[in-house]
Amino acid sequence: MNQVRHVPVMLQRCLDLLAPALAEPGAVVVDCTLGLGGHSEALLSAFPAARLVALDRDQEALRLSGERLAPFGDRATLVHAVYNELPDVLARLGIPRVQGVLFDLGVSSMQLDEAERGFAYAQDSPLDMRMDQSSGVSAAEVLNTYPPGELVRILRAYGEEKQAKRIVSAVVREREKEPFSHSARLVELIRDALPQAAKRTGGNPAKRTFQALRIEVNGELSVLERAIPAAVKSLALGGRIAVLSYHSLEDRLVKQVFAAGATNTAPPGLPVVPERYQPRLKLLTRGAELPTEEEIAENRRAAPARLRGAQRIREDSL
């Protein structure tokens, strides 16, 4: 299976960011987005004293990664969970604090490469898009049952699609004739609905709509909104977190959480800032770091990646 060896995005930079926190024996690092296990395998190899806890909501990803990480034995604990469930997972495992956390957000290569999962707009496939196929509504159900106003909101908010109204009008008209089930029909409808000028910019015109549907189906932003603060909270003093985002909505959310943690919360005008108001985080990246041109040339999926890192420098005040 060739994509099992798919190269993880910005791998060396992620390892470098987390390294200072993972050298001590007994250090625990959490890979919140296991996928095909590329980052996890690299973490276990690079930090032989560390233990790994890895989460994924996709059962197939867990099975494949389990085979890949088997040589590491009980150093790797794989858990079927969504990443906002991190506090519960750590509590069940009896781990009070961790030294490192990694998020590689977005869709795994396996999900993009398997046509029947319905994530890709480049090939015809069932409109599913669920990362965990054992629960939740599919993209087809969203398209076929959501009120028009809600569909417009989703396309605008999650896809940043300027032509949302045009696309939704066409979807509503077409779904009354026959419900949507496959991606090719949706891609064709989007092409037909867009004005000529909108088709000339930004790659496949269906890209933004597919992104919006995927985020809605998997509740990605609401999950992330809970997950990043929970992950920061789970860090031990000196612990580090690295987050790879793939679109501006994710990156903005990560930026806000990190910025809030790195700011002192004292009322203005205090001559000395008491300990309880001091920042809890130190930013490890200046803004968001981008992949190199060489990396993008080798792995086109790295192109939109944005990496941010932070370190826990103070405990929460009681």
Looking at domain 120-218, what is its CATH homologous superfamily?
A: Putative methyltransferase TM0872, insert domain (1.10.150.170)
39 is in an annotated binding site: yes
What φ, ψ does residue 149 adopt, rounded to 5°? -60, -35
pLDDT tens, 195-229?
A: 876 666 666 788 889 989 998 998 888 899 999 99
Residue 111 marked as a ligand binder: yes
CB-count burial class (<10 Å; 0-12, 13-18, 19+) for 201 = exposed
CB atoms within 10 A of CB 273: 13
- For the chain, the domains span 2-110+220-312, 120-218
Is residue 124 within a helix (H) or strand (E), and if so which, with residue range? none
Structure tokens at 119: 């994530």
201: its two tokens: 């910019």
Helix axes 59-69, 38-46, angle to 10 degrees: 30
Q: What is the mean pLDDT of each run of 10 residues along the chain (318 residues)?
A: 60 96 95 93 96 93 94 96 95 97 74 49 80 83 96 94 95 96 93 77 80 90 93 97 93 96 88 88 96 91 93 80
In the block, tokens 């996709």 appear at: 58
Dihedral sign from CA coordinates of 273, 279, 285, 290: negative
The CA-based diameter of the chain, rounded to the nearest angstrom, is: 69
38 is in an annotated binding site: yes
SS3 69: helix
Half-sphere exposure of 175 (CA within 13 A, CB side): 20
Q: Which fold would CATH assign to domain 2-110+220-312?
A: Rossmann fold (3.40.50)
